[in-house]
Amino acid sequence: MDIFANLWLGFTVAGTFYNLFYCLVGVFLGTAIGVLPGLGPVATIAMLLPITFGLPPESALIMLAGIYYGAQYGGSTTAILVNLPGEPSSVVTALDGYQMARQGHAGRALSTAAIGSFIAGTISTILIAVFAPALAAVALQFGPAEYFSLMALGLIASIVMASGPLLHALGMILVGLLLGMAGTDVNSAVPRYTFGMPLLSDGLDFVVIAMGVFGLGEIIANLEDEADRSVMTKRVTGLMPSKEDWKRIIAPILRGTALGSLLGILPGGGAALASFGSYSLEKKLAKHPEEFGKGAIEGVAGPESANNAGAQTSFIPMLTLGLPSNSVMALMIGAMIIQGIQPGPSVMTEQPTLFWGLIASMWIGNAMLLVLNLPLIGLWVRMIAIPYNFLFPIIIVFCAIGVFSVNNNAFDVYMMAIFGVVGYVFRKLDAEPAPMLLAFILGPMMEEFLRRALLFSKGDPSVLVTRPVSAGLLIVAAVLLVAVLLPSVRKGREKAFQEE
């Protein structure tokens, strides 16, 4: 089978000392920022992007990917020990995990989360290896009309996941598209929205926007209410789950993996939605649903597996279609572009070492996390105890130096400051900035594909709906949009976000 040869290639790439080292750095950093509430993978990856410029593309992406799925592990630690989700995807873990910790079962909860995540990571890595080539083969047949529709679908799907009113999220997409227009138009060489500033002729740097909106904007929001954190400082003991526990958690882990893998592939899906879905699924299926919220081990096993599976499979559309399904994937695409790789279906054939190396590294990274995480629990607990008022100036320092080093230019630093305020204000108005960042990255590509599609059809826009695949994608987008507007779905969506 081809797939084994490919995976073998991947392991030879990911298994070199150099790449193992960057994988370890990635998962370690990822866990650390996952543990810390108020610092997410988006801001961290944006901060570290400039540092990866000098690395080979494989090592750069392996490290950045490690940060993302490492953060899923770390987030659960904080959720269980402090009842404070380190990441949005571990919100539901806090419900039962913290109760378990209060009853003295913190060790079992932590190990359940880690084991569930590892099993989910293993299965979803295999899924990526099986399905990604097939999807890439399909995508190679795509013309510009299909790509345009695919991106439109991606954008619509991203707002399904965004919290806040639908209208606000749709507007954020348009704002992102408009921001993406700034800079020199590739076809006519006309500078657009540069306000006569030569520094803007290359357009806005997405690192600047990401760090401003997700780094600084979030800090300003976090400073609004500086709550005290009380850590469960009791010694964490009894790490291994008992035989009885294994029986209880194995089914939720597998169900969570299946659900998470599925939701992760969908644009706009990813980890957070997966964990919410898995929690309600387990609660429905449980023999004793009344235990949920009071320390049910299933309520930790399912969502933790689901969020890790979702985090992994969200790489599929990014790697095969060049389509980011969430902000982290948008940053990964940016990292590829910086490395001189054109994202899309050709990555697999033209950069097989990168493609398979990254996939293999995910499994290695998950194994590292399993081994690393439990013995290092003491270190993570101490990290949670760092007060936010010491932490956030450090984050700002990394943001500022990171943004400066992109172009070695103070102008970018000022722009980041502006986007910090922009991100904060949008957040206050219930307009989530994630769809904006996606649209910003996709905008120039969408324009180019639309231009080409219309050029071939001699200006007839019906080409988007007469080609079957393109029409199908647009129909899915329309159905999604209508579905979100339906009262019953809307209520469920609002409820899911209220729990955050």
Residue ranges in contact with another protein by CB under 8 A:
51, 54, 165, 167-168, 170-171, 174-175, 177-178, 181, 185, 187-188, 190, 192-193, 216, 219-221, 223-224, 226, 387-390, 392-394, 396-397, 399-401, 404-405, 408, 410-411, 413-414, 416-418, 420-421, 424-426, 428-431, 446-447, 450-451, 454-455, 457-461
Residue 228 has a CB neighbour count (10 Å cut-off) of 6
Least distance in Å: CB of 462 to another protein?
11
Decide: residue 37, CB within 10 A, 0-12 exposed, 13-18 middle, 19+ buried: buried
Report the residue number, 330 or 400, with the smaller CB distance to another protein: 400
Least distance in Å: CB of 446 to another protein?
8
Q: Is 183 helix (H, G, I), strand (E, B) or coil?
A: strand
Q: Under a CB-based contact definition with an 8 Å cutoff, are residues 82 and 230 in contact?
A: yes
Report the residue number, 29 or 311, with the smaller CB distance to another protein: 29
Q: How far is CA 356 from CA 254, 317, 368, in A?
A: 25, 15, 18
Least distance in Å: CB of 23 to another protein?
20
First to last CA, the chain: 45
Residues in the chain: 500
Torsion of CA 52, 57, 60, 64, to 10 degrees: 120
Least distance in Å: CB of 348 to another protein?
30
Instruction: Using only the alpha carbons of the chain, give its radius of gyration.
Output: 22
* Phi and psi torsions of 27, nearest 5°: -70, -35
Least distance in Å: CB of 464 to another protein?
12
Report the residue number, 15 or 171, with the smaller CB distance to another protein: 171
Decide: residue 219, CB within 10 A, 0-12 exposed, 13-18 middle, 19+ buried: buried
Least distance in Å: CB of 334 to another protein?
19
For 405-427, give the DSSP string: HHHT-HHHHHHHHHHHHHHHHHH
Pairing state between β 191-192 and 183-184: antiparallel
Contacts of 320 (CB under 8 A, 6+ apart): 132, 133, 135, 136, 139, 345, 347, 348
Least distance in Å: CB of 393 to another protein?
5
What's the distance, CA 94 to chain centroid? 20
Q: How many CA atoms lie within 13 A of 358 on its CB side?
A: 29
Q: Under a CB-based contact definition with an 8 Å cutoff, are residues 217 and 424 in contact?
A: yes
Report the residue number, 285 or 401, with the smaller CB distance to another protein: 401
Q: Under a CB-based contact definition with an 8 Å cutoff, are residues 338 and 50 in contact?
A: no
Least distance in Å: CB of 190 to another protein?
4
| Tokens representing residue 321 in the block | 């279609």
Q: Under a CB-based contact definition with an 8 Å cutoff, are residues 30 and 371 in contact?
A: no
Q: How far apart are CA 74 and CA 306, in angstroms?
A: 15
Least distance in Å: CB of 421 to another protein?
6
CA angle 328, 384, 120 (to 5 degrees): 45
Report the residue number, 98 or 426, with the smaller CB distance to another protein: 426
Report the residue number, 130 or 394, with the smaller CB distance to another protein: 394
Report the residue number, 116 or 180, with the smaller CB distance to another protein: 180
Least distance in Å: CB of 79 to another protein?
24
Report the residue number, 110 or 477, with the smaller CB distance to another protein: 477
Least distance in Å: CB of 181 to another protein?
5
Report the residue number, 141 or 498, with the smaller CB distance to another protein: 498
Report the residue number, 143 or 352, with the smaller CB distance to another protein: 143
Report the residue number, 425 or 478, with the smaller CB distance to another protein: 425
Least distance in Å: CB of 478 to another protein?
16
Report the residue number, 135 or 216, with the smaller CB distance to another protein: 216
